[in-house]
Amino acid sequence: MKNLFLSTLVFAATALPALAAGKTNVLFLICDDLNCDIGSYGHSQVRTPNIDRLAKRGVRFERAYCQYPLCGPSRASFMTGLYPDQSLIHRNAILIRKHLPDVVTMSQHFKNHGYDATRIGKIYHYNVPKDIGNDGHDDPASWSHTFNPRGRDKTDEAKVFTLRKGSYGGTLSWLAADGTDEEQTDGIAATEAAKRLEQFAKTKQPFFMAVGLYRPHTPYVAPKKYFEMYPLEKIVVPTVPKGYLASLPAPARASITRKREQVNLKDSLAREAIQAYYASITFADAQVGRILETLESTGLAKNTVVVFTSDHGYHMGEHGHYQKTTLFENAARVPLIIATPGMATAGKSTAMPVEMVDFYPTLTELCGLAKPKHLSGVSLAPTLRNLRSTPRRDALTQFATGYSLYTGRYRYTEWGAKGKSGAELYDHTNDPSEMKNLAKRAAHKTTVAELSKRLHERIAEANQKPKGVTQVSTRKK
């Protein structure tokens, strides 16, 4: 375990007088590779009592979407408030300063305004499990303090079952572990988060604390008791109709078949993988609960905005695919709960489409900070006060050569320049699982034309040069 204390970096252009103690704090909780298979989102099996409890004192966003269904680009996007085409980060293992040397990140903005900005665990990209215990591809300028937990899930890697020998992070792999929650990396992170909260309660220092849990990212490691909650015979494996792949454009088909050892798993293996994923979710929920209990017991909940989310969605057999990197609902959609002190809308939900680039402007408004000029998202603060307020009407996600738009009723996707590599249209009213591609059907010609126009408007917006931020492209001319 490594605890780094970083020097404060203040940019004169954004520096304002430090806020006095007692200002609104932020607790930003994020799981890795978590989809919406949780209790408060209606899943019938997965047990997440602590996240569900947070939903009862916050607003649950039913339709929140990442901007890129891959860890590195997604995390860079919401931490900078920029779309991937603006951050120029479209793959993992890239330091954000390589392309955005002078951007002020979300936590950095709070740090520049007198907050202690603490990172515990994974916020920017890390190779998991390789980088557990070190800084990964973190951004030092974003933090006042950092803590890198390292538990027995890392030291017990040799015990992990994996579909591809020697590969863990990008391959389905799992372990029903011995020992306690507190010995796991995320358990150590929760312990450190509780300790930091107790310190903040004593010092009255305003804080922006981001806690990044590694689970349920592969390898799906959790103590055995969590696996026992999900008997294999009760696991439901999604099915795919015969001939389904032929209905998809080639790039979409490639996105769900690129890891061939993980496509359409045999039933017994699929049950084990899904069991392990569910166990990891419930284990992560328990760590979230430990952190929230400390927030409440210290009295800090009365003055702290809490955000709970994931970096992108995840497939667990839907469309025959496992893991992420598709433009289907499963990979694009994320859980999002925001709780503010004394909110009138507590326990309610909204189906308004929202994007992860909205986090940055939302938190600045909720905490009374000036909004940086470079931000591309919109503030969700009006919606938190009044659920009838709908600042967004659709949500944009991209992957590889494709762009996808969710509108509330439809998901429309185009691949390649101006859709030359194919298109997809799904009607969520009649096909929420997105299994019937309507893009080529004559009856939907008008809908396709309208959505294509809107999609390209959104793509143009997502490609606008951010104000006041230097972009450094490494593409060869």
List per-residue pLDDT tens for the chain, 477 residues long. Answer: 334 333 333 322 332 233 334 599 999 999 999 999 999 999 999 999 999 999 999 999 999 999 999 999 999 999 999 999 999 999 999 999 999 999 999 999 999 999 999 999 999 999 999 999 999 999 999 999 999 999 999 999 999 999 988 888 889 999 999 999 999 999 999 999 999 999 999 999 999 999 999 999 999 999 999 999 999 999 999 999 999 999 999 999 999 998 888 888 999 999 999 999 999 999 999 999 999 999 999 999 999 999 999 999 999 999 999 999 999 999 999 999 999 999 999 999 999 999 999 999 999 999 999 999 999 999 999 999 999 999 999 999 999 999 999 999 999 999 999 999 999 999 999 999 999 999 999 999 999 999 999 999 999 999 999 999 999 997 654
Q: Is residue 472 part of a domain?
A: no
Give the number of domains in the chain: 1
Q: Is residue 130 part of a domain?
A: yes
Active site residue 367: no
Q: Is residue 332 part of a domain?
A: yes
Q: Sign of torsion, CA 65 68 70 73? A: negative
pLDDT value at residue 12: 29
Burial class (CB in 10 A: 0-12, 13-18, 19+), 449: exposed
Q: Is residue 385 part of a domain?
A: yes
End-to-end CA distance of the chain: 43
Active site residue 90: no
For residues 339-378, one letter each, b for 16 or more C-beta atoms within 10 angstroms of the residue's C-beta and e for the rest, the string is bbeebebeeebbebbbbbbbbbbbbbbbbebeebebbbbb
Q: Is residue 467 part of a domain?
A: no
Catalytic residue of the set 99, 109, 125, 321: 125
Task: Calculate the CA dihedral of residues 274, 276, 278, 281 and round it to 10 degrees.
Answer: -140
For the chain, give percent helix, strand, coil, nearest 5.
35, 20, 45
Alpha carbon distances (Å) from 101 to 88, 349, 361: 12, 38, 20
Q: Which residue has the tokens 């949780």?
A: 38
Asked if 320 and 241 touch (Cβ cutoff 8 Å), the reply is no
Catalytic residue of the set 31, 36, 66, 71: 71
Q: Is residue 266 part of a domain?
A: yes
Note if the bond before 216 is cis, omega within 30 degrees: yes
Q: Which residue has the tokens 């026992």?
A: 228
* Count of Cβ atoms closer than 10 Å to residue 12 Cβ: 6
Q: Is residue 457 part of a domain?
A: no
Domain that holds residue 359: 2-11+23-392
Question: What would the two tokens of residue 443 be?
Answer: 């009856």
CATH number at 237 reads: 3.40.720.10
7-25 pLDDT, tens digit each: 333 322 332 233 334 599 9
In angstroms, the CA 395 to CA 405 distance is 6
pTM given for the model: 0.94
Q: Is residue 259 part of a domain?
A: yes
